[in-house]
Amino acid sequence: MVDDARAISFERSTPWVADAALSKVCLEDLTRDRVVRSVLDVGGGTGALGSQFLKVEPRPSVTVLDRSPHMLARVPRGCRTILADWVSAEGGHEFDTVLMRQFLHYTSAPEVALLHALEFMCDDALMYIGQLVAPSQASADWVHAIGTYLDPGRSTVFTERGLRDAVHGAGFGELVVRRFEYRESLQQWAARLRVPLAPNPLPPKLRPSPDVVRELRLGADHAISLTWLHLVVEAAA
């Protein structure tokens, strides 16, 4: 599995994983005017985001759930871990805070994955969804072609509309919506996943790129323009 193979360098090589500014916004939005007691980080990988909650006072319990034992082996001490596939994991309505950062694109049915979170959420629980989304459907299709070429485990590249429709379709209401611009180097992305990718010309199935990507071509590389979408949601009453 790609996630097992890349676990060892995941935090070092993926620029956003240990980005303090990104996790700070998430922490601030989830701890404003409420006490966080129990956090579940779904598809939490090495626990880079969930473990940040160990710094919050009073200190909540933090649980990281992931299907990759290699990712979980790197979760910091102080967090509980659950080795499980998300949709077959059983919840007991025990968490007041659920995190899903860069997880939903691994699921072929995002609404089902979102709905499943209700089994883990207690009354008044909040869920944070952090996801890189493409600026248009054409761009999403192109990034999807690249993503599945580099990592066949991926299922979906969202646009903002697509992700928010899935969130609403699963019955969640949005409390916070934030956007941060983000650029990804195609060559760095391929290098992190250890897939050799000739820059020029790209493999035929990755051509043609939509205008939004072509405009951002940088020499032999491509700069993929994306947006970090941050949502804080609650279960509808």
DSSP state of 210: P
Binding of ligand SAM by 49 (CB under 6 A): yes
Indicate which single residue of 102, 148, 185, 187 sits in contact with ligand SAM (rule: CB under 6 A): 102
Binding of ligand SAM by 60 (CB under 6 A): no
Q: Which stretch binds ligand SAM (CB under 6 A): 99-107, 139-147, 165-173, 200-208?
A: 99-107
Residue written as token pair 């192109």: 142
Q: Are 234 and 175 in contact (CB under 8 A)?
A: yes
**Positions in 66-95 near ligand SAM (CB under 6 A):** 66-68, 71, 85-86
Residues in the chain: 237
Binding of ligand SAM by 187 (CB under 6 A): no
Binding of ligand SAM by 96 (CB under 6 A): no
Closer CB to ligand SAM, residue 129 or residue 213? 129
Closer CB to ligand SAM, residue 76 or residue 210? 76
Q: Is the dihedral of CA 162, 159, 14, 144 positive or negative?
A: positive
Closer CB to ligand SAM, residue 128 or residue 236? 128
Binding of ligand SAM by 151 (CB under 6 A): no
Q: What are the Cα distances from residue 19, in Å, to 16, 154, 188? A: 5, 22, 17
CB of 86 to ligand SAM, least distance (A): 4
Q: How many residues bind ligand SAM, per CB under 6 A? A: 17
Bridge-based pairing state of the strands 95-101 and 221-235:
unpaired
Residue written as token pair 């990755």: 206
> What are the counts of helices (DSSP H) followed by strands (DSSP E) for the chain?
9, 8
Binding of ligand SAM by 103 (CB under 6 A): yes
Q: Which stretch binds ligand SAM (CB under 6 A): 96-104, 168-176, 193-201, 202-210?
A: 96-104
Binding of ligand SAM by 43 (CB under 6 A): yes
Q: Are 3 and 45 in contact (CB under 8 A)?
A: yes
Q: Are 22 and 48 in contact (CB under 8 A)?
A: no
Q: What angle do CA 146, 68, 12 make, to 5 degrees?
A: 65
Residues near ligand SAM, by CB under 6 A? 3, 17, 43-45, 48-49, 66-68, 71, 85-86, 101-103, 106
